[in-house]
Chains A and B, each alone.
Chain A
Amino acid sequence: GESVGLHLPTLSVQEGDNSIINCAYSNSASDYFIWYKQESGKGPQFIIDIRSNMDKRQGQRVTVLLNKTVKHLSLQIAATQPGDSAVYFCAENNGDYKLSFGAGTTVTVRA
């Protein structure tokens, strides 16, 4: 079965608010995690990554948190904008060349 999953398939957020997208994984051997953004009709686009020796990493308006105890990671988007509307995937890797993707969360930003 899948080793990576997302808690909620959809998220509606008011423009300007912060978004939090959650992801649970089951493979304790996974040591690298990535968040991707996929806009309609396009390929996945790298947002941010984190290694298992870290619990937090920040980028531009995005923060990824990793809780290895409960095998959970989250993506926080600050001041959500209309251009953030997309499907967000978490993906994991356990040291080889394969990525395992979750099913995705569709984020819709309300004006």
Chain B
Amino acid sequence: NAGVMQNPRHLVRRRGQEARLRCSPMKGHSHVYWYRQLPEEGLKFMVYLQKENIIDESGMPKERFSAEFPKEGPSILRIQQVVRGDSAAYFCASSATGLMNTGELFFGEGSRLTVL
């Protein structure tokens, strides 16, 4: 069973460009979460999605950031007009349910964005 797949693993963008990060959840998982990790810090919740629905985007900046999880295809985290402060590792996780107390949350290897 393939795990959570993220691509690209590394992405370099210049200021003002767009970054698109993709995440395919584990097979059978319909709940997707995006977390951001700045250097030397822990992961911070950004957004929680189910198929075609954004459940909670309270951790995501109001501007330039958007996320989607279409009926077909991977979840996408989109960052428009990137700035240097967007440089971070972005992790996607998936679960079969929306409950965290089962331990069944699986993370991908992350996408590392560098903004020049």
Task: Give residues in A with beta carbon < 8 Å to B.
Answer: 2, 4, 31-32, 34, 41-46, 49, 51, 89, 91, 93, 95-104
Complex-state Cα separation, A15 to B48, whole angstroms: 40
9-residue interface stretch from B71-79, B80-88, B98-106: B98-106
- From B93, B101, B110, name the one whose CB has the most chain A CB atoms within 10 angstroms: B101
Chain B contact-residue range equals 20 to 34
11 residue pairs from A and B, CB less than 8 Å apart:
A32-B101, A41-B109, A43-B4, A43-B107, A46-B103, A91-B43, A95-B101, A96-B100, A99-B100, A101-B43, A103-B41
Q: Is B44 in the interface zone, CB < 8 Å from A?
A: yes
Task: Give residues in B with beta carbon < 8 Å to A.
Answer: 4, 31, 33, 35, 40-45, 48, 55-56, 59, 91, 93, 98-101, 103, 105-110
Asked if B103 contacts A101 (CB within 8 A), the reply is no
Complex-state Cα separation, A95 to B108, whole angstroms: 23
Chain A min CB distance to B4 (Å): 8
Residues of A within 8 A of B103 (CB): 34, 46, 49
Residues of B within 8 A of A43 (CB): 4, 91, 93, 107-110
Residues of A within 8 A of B59 (CB): 98
Complex-state Cα separation, A43 to B103, whole angstroms: 15
Residues of A within 8 A of B4 (CB): 43
Residues of B within 8 A of A104 (CB): 40-42
